[in-house]
Amino acid sequence: ALQLSVFGEKFAGQTGASSLMDDLGGALNDNPNMLFMGGGNPSRIPAMEALFAERMASMARNSDQLFGALGVYKSPQGDRAFLAALAKMLSNICGWELTERNLAISNGSQSAFFVLFNLFAGRMPDGSKRHIQLPLAPEYLGYADSGLSEDFFRSTKPTIELLEGNLFKYHVDFEALALTDATAAVCVSRPTNPTGNVISDDELQQLDRLARAQGVPLIIDNAYGTPFPNILFTDAKPFWNDNTILLLSLSKLGLPGVRTGIVVANESVIRAFSNANAVLNLASGNMGPALVQPWIESGELIQLCERHVRPHYRNKVGAALTQCREALAGTPFRVHRPEGALFLWLWFPDLPITSDELYRRLKKRGVLVVSGHHFFPGLTEPWAHQHECIRVNYGQDADTVRRGFAIIGDEVARAYSHG
Ligand code: PLP
């Protein structure tokens, strides 16, 4: 057996994220016809794929560009010219006062979260311990195992607003949310994975005030949000200031394979991040930034999202919601109001079986979803709701989504009537 360190025991073993990814991969191997509604892959969008192909071909014909993307390490912060163009685009579009010194590239935002969380939380120089506060559970399961020490996250249960048409919506429970001297930072995904919730501009401002009052950063995970990729079906203003650490990603534009994330923060956070990134990666990958550089320089990236990405998901989410309602009619199901991202979050109040059991039954029937209980990192108090929800990726082709929901409807009805 391997003799592992404490670090090794934590990271080389099965974590929630690794077992989930294995399970998704294994299920596809076992049954190639599996209706794949788990995982976080973005949709295929033909118009975007055509643009990526054209750009790759043009890079391949230009030996200087190709060399710049493939043949050199850039600085640990990222390519200067790219960062300058991005700073200009973000200032123009969002009105933020920032320069390239406020930006850094990472190998995917996932790895940036790992670095940032551990820069702020864990054991402090004075021996005390600090944690990352998630102001609204459910929250992204990718955070769950990213702390180098135990007891790394705390999360706050939301309030639940019941809405017409079997919908519901979570809100931040500001009465329950308390920051203390043990709070290292506040972190929220907007839109939220898994729920598609978009916390309001007001809620965000209130979180900003709380974080400032406590003297800790507010981290906003913008994997799906504004200004890009803009998978948003509700109004939400872009938000950043010198106490905010905003994480952007190229993944949900249709580029998860280039592994490019972007950190937007004040200069001291960017310096700290870049130093840590040098240790872990020497430098980040150049392909993602090089691929999108022309659309950053022209600002066209925003129009591409508006023209191709947002309408694609808006159409899909509308169709998925209709199919979901038809398939689940007659059961007491609820759906979180889909305000953004790639998922429908279904809630089955008082379901006689756990969501994990429902997930297993669905997998046997050839439908892959993700059980909701994975999405409550840092929630220590018991809450039945954690075992009553599933996350469904609606980004696949229409036929897959329709067949998937039909089987979900069947299994949920059976569970309510027979347990
Ligand atoms: N944050 C959220 C909310 C996500 O859903 C994802 C991926 O699904 C990530 C971060 C990580 O994205 P990436 O590392 O591809 O930038």
Ligand 1 centroid–CA 228 distance in Å is: 13
The pLDDT assigned to 32 comes to: 84
The pLDDT assigned to 77 comes to: 98
Residue 113 alpha carbon, nearest atom of ligand 1 = 10
Ligand 1 centroid–CA 365 distance in Å is: 28
The pLDDT assigned to 94 comes to: 97
The pLDDT assigned to 112 comes to: 98
The pLDDT assigned to 30 comes to: 83
Kindly report the protein residue whose alpha carbon is nearest to atom 8 of ligand 1: 40
The pLDDT assigned to 139 comes to: 98
Sequence length of the chain is 419
Ligand 1 centroid–CA 141 distance in Å is: 10
Mean pLDDT of 372-401: 95
378 in contact with ligand 1, CB cutoff 6 A: no
Mean pLDDT of 15-29: 78
What's the rounded Cα separation, in Å, for the pair 244 and 269? 10
pLDDT digits 0-9 by tens, 331-352: 999 999 999 999 999 999 999 9
The pLDDT assigned to 18 comes to: 77
- For ligand 1, mutation pick of 24, 43, 110 (most atoms within 8 Å of CB): 110
The pLDDT assigned to 142 comes to: 93
Residue 112 alpha carbon, nearest atom of ligand 1 = 14
Of 239, 240, 247, nearest to 273 (Cα)? Answer: 247
225 in contact with ligand 1, CB cutoff 6 A: no
261 in contact with ligand 1, CB cutoff 6 A: yes
The pLDDT assigned to 26 comes to: 82
The pLDDT assigned to 21 comes to: 78
Kindly report the protein residue whose alpha carbon is nearest to atom 3 of ligand 1: 193
109 in contact with ligand 1, CB cutoff 6 A: yes
pLDDT digits 0-9 by tens, 211-244: 999 999 999 999 999 999 999 999 999 999 999 9
Q: Which domains can be identified in the chain, with CATH numbers?
A: 6-47+304-418 (3.90.1150.10), 72-301 (3.40.640.10)
Ligand 1 centroid–CA 375 distance in Å is: 14
**Statement: residue 250 has pLDDT above 90:** yes
Ligand 1 centroid–CA 333 distance in Å is: 27
pLDDT digits 0-9 by tens, 141-189: 999 989 999 999 999 999 999 999 999 999 999 999 999 999 999 999 9
Ligand 1 centroid–CA 194 distance in Å is: 11
**Statement: residue 12 has pLDDT above 90:** no
Radius of gyration of the chain (CA): 21
β pairing state of 334-336 and 167-171:
parallel
Range of lowest pLDDT (3-17, 82-96, 394-408): 3-17
83 in contact with ligand 1, CB cutoff 6 A: no
Range of lowest pLDDT (18-32, 35-49, 289-303, 306-320): 18-32
What's the rounded Cα separation, in Å, for the pair 191 and 140? 10
Confidence of residue 27 (pLDDT cuts 50, 70, 90): confident
Confidence of residue 20 (pLDDT cuts 50, 70, 90): confident
Ligand 1 centroid–CA 354 distance in Å is: 26
Residues 6+ apart with CB under 8 A from 36: 24, 28, 368, 393, 396, 400
The pLDDT assigned to 1 comes to: 81
Mean pLDDT of 190-217: 98
- Return mean pLDDT, the chain: 96
Ligand 1 centroid–CA 344 distance in Å is: 17
**Statement: residue 311 has pLDDT above 90:** yes
Confidence of residue 63 (pLDDT cuts 50, 70, 90): very high
